[in-house]
Amino acid sequence: MNRCRFLFFVLPLVVQLSCAREEAQTPASARVVVPEYSAANIAPSGAAPFSPGRIVSLYGKALGPAQPCQGSAAPDRRETASPLRPKQTEIERSVFPQTLCDTEVRVGRVAAGLLYVSSGQINFKVPQSALTSGDTTVQVIRAGVSGPIVRVALGVEATSEQAQEIADAMWSALQKVDWDKAYSSQCAVLSSRELVGEEAASPTRNCKQIQPHTTTETLYYPVGAENPKEFLLRADIRPLREYPELSAEVEQILLRRLGTGVKPGQVPGVSLGAPREVVGSWRHGNLTLYVHRNPAYLAPLGVRRGVVLVALREELVQEQTRRALAQAALQTQSQLSPEMIGQDLSQSLGGAYRYEPVSLRWNAMTELERVAAEQKTRRELVRMLRWPKDDREQKAASYVAADELTRRLGSFLVRSLDGRTEEAGNFGQVKLQLAAYGVKYSGIGHYSDVMEYDYSLLKRAWTEYPDTKEGQRAFLLLQRLECAATDFLVKTGADCYREVIQKGEAFLAQYPDTVFRKEELALLATAYETEWSLWRGAGSVDYGIHAKPSAAAAEAARLKAIALYEELLRLAPGSPEAERGVLLIPRLKLKLDTGQRRFLASEC
């Protein structure tokens, strides 16, 4: 081949390879990344028109940093609403930064206020100078790099007549709800992933009905312990489309229909799920009606979903109130609550021990306060560890008290240095001192940020003094620790509910008259309920982690859980443990998933 012709072909290839190497060696931060989006990815909140003051979400790629940023409204400034859209909410008249995390959004040629910026989404506020007809342009500029200029249509605001129409449709939909109907039709079965809050207060089925202007969701709950059925106890009525620009008017129309609004503090404390704000309520016969603002989650900021009318039957209000009272009582009245344990230990040890909940963590203390708390707690702990062995009940009590003091001391054996959590300077000395008494700290907890230990003192109280009250309390406290007490509950795979059942039943067989029979029955019932729920909630359980029980084992567990909860009702009627059983028995009898996931390793 002619040498010149050879160079003619080869030199461009050399140049290309050289350029490719240079590009590969260029730092990622120095490369130009162009924001990607289109007009189809621009959505005003609630499908409202693109108009002055409107909060708008823009979706795409490379819009901002991977770590989201939120813009704060100026506390002392408000914009004058555009005369083309005079009725605006407070957030729509607020002043937000026009540059956030090195990102800008221009509407026409005017910089928009930025509420939220991330790599995949921006929430911005349309400038008040925008029009309400024709179209305008939107452009994102990130770190000086401009994205495409896209055109969006401007729109006209909805009218008060439309707000009245929406409110009338919501009120009409409420009148059509058939409250006396038991479940019979095909509705969506709510999985345990969809259960809201405490499993005993969650609906089981959801029927959705679409009307011309509204969507009505009717929610069914189990009723009755003897012969349970699923009854319609709640209805959520919302506009078919989300109309945040009309929310204030729709709210006022509904409140006028309902009567005098009630302040949020006077509203019965029921759990309705999702971040909702009660703006008024009204009692009508067997129904309690709530008008709610229904905002989306705070991140990303600024998106509003409108207004919801929620109606609850009295049975559901009473059930949720009953559950809340039982839950609160469990925290203070159970023999496994810190307050009750503290009272019993103080009595057993002749006032030598006094329970003191940790009111401040180490990161809320000065270094002097932390050192003082550490020294005081350590002195009390050593005194408990040296307790004479003459009285078995007192010695078991001293171990349980020392366990609480050891965990409390763990809160004061860490400190912050240059923003890092590390061992306190004298931790090595303390570690050696306590090791002489058999107390060993395992290290700073990954989630707790305090020094943790292996609960060896509870294990000693149980294994050395199993016939004492405090020794038996230590056994239950170890069970309640679930899969965390690995030396006590040797896990089967990723689950420990089997060990809770095995050891719990052996405990009751050996000590049938224990003063903690009620508490042990409650733990056993929960463990059996978990086994049933693990099988029943097939769509919401990772069987790569958990071993799926057989159908026969799950059915046996369901029946056993019912029997244990019923025994609790006979043994301690009105107790917090029994009250929880009252709420769960109907679900178990109807063979529904209760959503119970306690005593599973992934939940611990």
pLDDT tens across 491-530, in order?
445 678 898 999 999 999 999 999 999 999 999 999 999 9
Q: How far apart are CA 362 and CA 394, in angstroms?
A: 31
pLDDT at residue number 270: 52
SS3 assignment, position 507 = helix
pLDDT tens track for 376-395: 999 999 999 999 988 999 99
pLDDT of 40 over the 80 cut: yes
Q: What angle do CA 214, 217, 222 make, to 5 degrees?
A: 160
> What average pLDDT does this structure show over 98-111?
95
| Under 8 Å between Cβ of 336 and 321 | no
pLDDT at residue number 173: 93
Select, from the ranges 143-157, 283-297, 416-430, 549-563, the one with the highest average predicted confidence (pLDDT).
549-563
Question: What confidence tier does 194 reach under pLDDT thresholds 50, 70, 90?
Answer: very low
66 vs 447, which has greater pLDDT? 66
Question: Taking the C-alpha atoms of 298, 302, 306 and 311 in order, what is their torsion angle to the nearest 10 degrees?
Answer: 20
pLDDT of 336 over the 50 cut: yes
pLDDT tens track for 218-240: 888 888 878 888 889 999 998 87
pLDDT of 93 over the 70 cut: yes
356 vs 83, which has greater pLDDT? 83
Q: How far apart are CA 428 and CA 57, in angstroms?
A: 54
SS3 assignment, position 314 = helix
Q: Any long-range contacts for 485-493 (C-beta under 8 Å, 24+ apart)?
A: 485/455, 485/458, 487/454, 487/459, 488/455, 488/459, 491/601, 492/547, 493/546, 493/547
Query: How far apart are the two ends of the chain, measured CA to CA in Å?
Result: 74
Which helix (H) or strand (E) segment is 232 a member of?
A: strand 229-239
Question: What confidence tier does 18 reach under pLDDT thresholds 50, 70, 90?
Answer: very low
pLDDT of 583 over the 80 cut: yes
pLDDT at residue number 263: 44
328 vs 102, which has greater pLDDT? 102
- Among 188-192, 345-349, 584-588, the range scoring the smallest mean pLDDT is 188-192
Q: How far apart are CA 74 and CA 79, in angstroms?
A: 10
**Could you tell me which residues come within 8 angstroms of residue 207 by beta carbon, excluding any fewer than 6 positions away?**
185, 187, 188, 217, 218, 220
Alpha-carbon distances of 485 from 9, 527, 531, rounded to whole Å: 72, 16, 19
Q: How far apart are CA 479 and CA 489, in angstroms?
A: 8
The secondary structure of residue 103, as a DSSP letter, is E
Distance of CA 584 to the CA centre of its chain: 21
300 upstream amide cis, omega within 30 of 0: yes
pLDDT at residue number 11: 36
Phi–psi pair at 13, nearest 5 degrees: -65, -40
10 vs 333, which has greater pLDDT? 333
Q: Which two tokens stand for residue 162?
A: 């439309």
| Under 8 Å between Cβ of 415 and 366 | no
> What average pLDDT does this structure show over 274-299?
70
pLDDT at residue number 425: 86
Select, from the ranges 12-16, 442-446, 479-483, 582-586, the one with the highest average predicted confidence (pLDDT).
582-586
pLDDT at residue number 38: 93
**Residue 335: exposed, middle, or buried by beta-carbon count in 10 A (0-12, 13-18, 19+)?**
middle
Question: What confidence tier does 29 reach under pLDDT thresholds 50, 70, 90?
Answer: very low
Beta pairing, strands 214-223 & 229-239: antiparallel
**Could you tell me which residues come within 8 angstroms of residue 292 by beta carbon, excluding any fewer than 6 positions away?**
272, 276, 277, 278, 279, 307, 308, 309, 310
383 vs 284, which has greater pLDDT? 383
pLDDT of 297 over the 60 cut: no
pLDDT of 14 over the 50 cut: no
368 vs 601, which has greater pLDDT? 368
Percent of the chain with pLDDT over 70: 80
Distance of CA 236 to the CA centre of its chain: 21
Average pLDDT of every residue of the chain: 82
Q: Which two tokens stand for residue 559?
A: 């029946």
> What average pLDDT does this structure show over 131-160?
90
| Under 8 Å between Cβ of 152 and 51 | no
Longest Cα–Cα distance in the chain: 107
| Under 8 Å between Cβ of 464 and 396 | yes
Give the count of beta carbons closer than 10 Å to the beta carbon of residue 167: 24
pLDDT at residue number 138: 97
Strand partners, 103: 100, 142
Select, from the ranges 111-115, 362-366, 572-576, the one with the highest average predicted confidence (pLDDT).
111-115
Q: How far apart are CA 600 and CA 304, in angstroms?
A: 37
SS3 assignment, position 519 = helix
pLDDT of 545 over the 90 cut: no
pTM, to two decimals: 0.70
| Under 8 Å between Cβ of 177 and 236 | no
